[in-house]
Chains A and B, each alone.
Chain A
């Protein structure tokens, strides 16, 4: 650990990327060797899922690496693009009417760019309230001028929800990147990576735990597998991994443990909420084969991050008393 502290921040982050890509390469190799075997139907399905997940993780890892290497502006743009795609997918799958056209235009072409401009210029106080206060109050006004009272509250609420998750939530990730913490500049990239790792670990651990533990699901109509025990196992695993990585964050070990728990737990709860939304919209997965709109399933992937990022961001800021 001492040797690691001697390295500069940039080198530490670079080292972590090397480790990450090494791990990914190892897992990919393992997955590849498994394809050389003959498997039955269930095995092949599992393999297909693993291949898809692995590809998503590779793309995510590469994007993060690009974001970190390229610096503030490019990473903000990158996350802005992801937000755009996620919002597009979300709006596709919710039913809005003609009268919402202007509000949707506002959401895509005014709120989204403005939010990311605020992130890019590090105006963190304004960036925190821009969506919950100003956008929240403006969108219903624009919708009301659309002159359609049918299901007005429902439609407006859907648009605001979409903005909240896809724009506001997602924008906290580049905000973490650009956060200036006392004593370390440039640690932002590591915090983002930390957050993503912790959320992914929580998801995987929860999935494995729910399969092993086979507890009765808490909300069967929403999710067949979500139980509090599995959730706790997921969040606790995330905490352990978070604590193990404390040396690369500005936190003490105990604080890193708590942060990991909070971030991992909120990410998996976010996944649970998205499952509820999916059930409501009648799709099994945003990017399932049956989806005619061709939604690529991006929303599925980034939703846990969109939930965990704001919680983590504010926890970090609170921790440092800013």
Chain B
């Protein structure tokens, strides 16, 4: 077993120990097909949680987005995001804040994502753009719309991450073991000639609906 695989297993095991990392699938089974997952964003743990909640065979083809300037800064961070998570690096460039998916004018920040999608990989994106503090997700930025436009046949799976803001709130370093879950919902598809705002609102509503599923 390679070092990266072993480290990945260890990380997944740790994530399970701390949070349980339960994945619930409503409306779409965990199939090994190309998908774009989009979820609410509340803590740094979010990606690890989704990753641990996915079945192991899906993990190798599902890639997160990582800001290039931050995650290639040290060799360790670079190794973790490249080898274990197989991240797609985006340059933040002139966009401020955490996400490169801001702005609806140019495709340049999205180019690595489009390349990954052309390659057949699945992606996980957080359309809010930044970590939210309140319970409800913020209005979605337009990156999701552009990706859906470029690849209309790839199903978009909404996901709701529950409870994770209690595990490691902003400013804390050590996580508290609390059970978290990821609920994956029914796939969305961009309707032909659908308005961007309408689509983003529909996507956001899908994520919120998963949150109130009890």
Spell out A's residues near B (CB within 8 Å). 84, 87-89, 91-92, 96, 98, 101, 104-105, 108-109, 290, 292-295
**Interface of A: prevailing SS:** helix
How many chain B residues touch A (CB < 8 A): the figure is: 18
User: Which candidate, B87-95, B134-142, B176-184, is the interface stretch facing chain A?
Assistant: B176-184
In angstroms, Cα B176 to Cα A101, docked, is 7
> What is the chain A residue whose CB lies nearest that of B177?
A88
Q: Residue B81 at the A interface, CB < 8 A?
A: no
Q: A88: which B residues are within 8 A, CB to CB?
A: 20, 177-179
B198 interface residue (CB < 8 Å to A): no
Given contacts A88-B20, A294-B24, contact A108 B176 (CB under 8 A): yes
Chain B residues with CB below 8 A from A101, complex form: 169, 172, 176
Select one of A105, A293, A294, A295 contacting B176, CB under 8 A: A105
Are B174's CB and A293's CB within 8 A?
no
Query: B181 contacts which of A91, A105, A294 (Cβ < 8 Å)?
Result: A294
Contact between A292 and B176, CB atoms less than 8 A apart: no
B177 touches A292 (CB 8 A): no
B181 to chain A, nearest CB (A): 5
Q: Are A292 and B166 in contact (CB under 8 A)?
A: no
- 8 shortest A-B CB distances, which residue pairs? A294-B22, A92-B179, A293-B179, A88-B177, A104-B176, A98-B169, A294-B181, A92-B178
For B31, what are the chain A residues with a Cβ–Cβ distance below 8 Å?
none
* B169–A293 CB distance below 8 A: no
Taking CB atoms, residues of chain A closer than 8 Å to B24 are: 292, 294
Residues of B within 8 A of A292 (CB): 24, 162, 181, 183, 213-214
Within 8 Å of chain A (Cβ to Cβ): is B5? no
Task: A108-B177, A292-B162 given; name 4 further pairs at CB < 8 Å.
Answer: A87-B177, A88-B20, A92-B163, A292-B214
A290 to B212, CA, bound (A): 11
Q: How far is the CA of A89 from the CA of B177 in the complex (A)?
A: 9
From B169, B179, B213, A295 is in contact (CB under 8 Å) with: B179
Q: Which residue of B lies closest to A109 (CB)?
A: B174
A108: chain B residues within 8 A (beta carbon): 176-177
**A290 with B181: in contact, given A98-B169, A104-B176 (CB under 8 Å)?**
no
How many A-B residue pairs have C-beta atoms within 8 angstroms? Tell me.
45
Chain A min CB distance to B35 (Å): 21
Using a CB-CB cutoff of 8 Å, which residues 7-60 of chain B contact chain A?
20, 22, 24
The closest CB in chain B to the CB of A99 belongs to B169
- Across the two chains, which residue of chain A brings its CB closest to B21? A294
Q: How far is the CB of B171 from chain A (nearest CB, A)?
A: 9
Q: Smallest distance from the beta carbon of A306 to chain B beta carbons, Å? A: 18
**B178:A290 contact, CB within 8 angstroms:** no
Residues of B contacting A96 with CB < 8 Å?
166
Chain B 172-214, CB within 8 Å of chain A: the 1/0 string?
1010111111010000000000000000000000000000011
Whole-angstrom CA separation of A294 from B25 in the bound complex: 12
Q: Which of A98, A109, A294 contacts B20 (CB 8 A)?
A: A294
Residues 90 to 144 of chain B near chain A (Cβ within 8 Å): none
| Distance of A34 from chain B, by nearest CB (Å) | 30
Taken together as a complex, chains A and B put the C-alpha atoms of A290 and B24 apart, in Å, by 11
CA distance A87 to B22 in the complex (A): 17
Q: Quick check: B163 and A293 within 8 Å, CB to CB?
A: yes
Which of B22, B172, B177, B213 contacts A293 (CB under 8 A)? B22
Q: Judging by beta carbons under 8 Å apart, are B174 and A105 in contact?
A: yes
Q: A101–B172 Cα gap in the complex (Å)?
A: 8
A290:B214 contact, CB within 8 angstroms: yes
Closest Cβ of chain A to B22, distance in Å, is 3
A-B contact pairs, 12 of them (CB 8 A): A88-B177, A89-B179, A91-B177, A98-B169, A101-B172, A101-B176, A108-B176, A292-B213, A293-B22, A294-B20, A294-B22, A294-B181
* Binary per-residue interface labels of chain B (157-175) against chain A in the complex, 1 for a CB within 8 Å, 0 otherwise: 0000011001001001010
Q: Report Cα–Cα, A87/B172, bound state, in Å.
A: 20
Residues of A within 8 A of B214 (CB): 290, 292
Residues of A within 8 A of B174 (CB): 105, 109
**In angstroms, how far is the closest chain A Cβ from the Cβ of B21?**
8
- Complex CA gap A108/B179 in Å reads 14
Of all chain B residues, the one with the shortest Cβ separation from A108 is B177
> In the bound complex, how far is the Cα of B22 from the Cα of A89, in angstroms?
13
Cα distance A101–B214 in the bound complex, in angstroms: 26
